[in-house]
Amino acid sequence: MTITYEDFAKMDIRIGTIIGAEKIEGADKLLKLSVDLGIEKRQIVAGIAQIVTDPIEMVGKQVPILCNLEPLILRGVESQGMMLAAADEDGKPVLIHPEHNIPNSSQIG
């Protein structure tokens, strides 16, 4: 399926820095992340718990966030966007991040 450039342009993807991370009780794959987007802080639920030994290791990492996604409740926790990640050949998430630190809220696209 293809989309138009106009559809792509509607997506607001920005870099944010993870400032807090914790496991979500009863969820094997989900972490609750606090993300500093420069202009605001948001709570994001991300399906990356199986690749993270200790959630605290996520703090300080910069990641791309889809900011204009409608909020969603996952396992009783509100997610105010989506962290973008790739999947390896086994389907496990792989983090995507800038080559070097850039200002939070830098737009991708």
Task: Indicate whether 4 belongs to any domain.
Answer: no
Checking if the pLDDT of 109 tops 90, the result is no
Residue 58, pLDDT score: 97
Residues 6+ apart with CB under 8 A from 58: 18, 21, 31, 33, 52
Residue 41, pLDDT score: 98
Task: Indicate whether 39 belongs to any domain.
Answer: yes
Task: Indicate whether 89 belongs to any domain.
Answer: yes
Question: Structural domain tally of the chain?
Answer: 1
Q: Using one digit for the tens of pLDDT, what is the confidence trace for 25-72?
A: 999 999 999 999 999 999 999 999 999 999 999 999 999 999 999 999
- Whole-model pTM: value is 0.93
Task: Indicate whether 2 belongs to any domain.
Answer: no
Task: Indicate whether 108 belongs to any domain.
Answer: no
Tokens of 28: 């094997």
Residue 58, domain CATH: 2.40.50.140
Task: Indicate whether 65 belongs to any domain.
Answer: yes
Structural domain of residue 85, as residue ranges?
Answer: 11-101
Residue 96, pLDDT score: 96
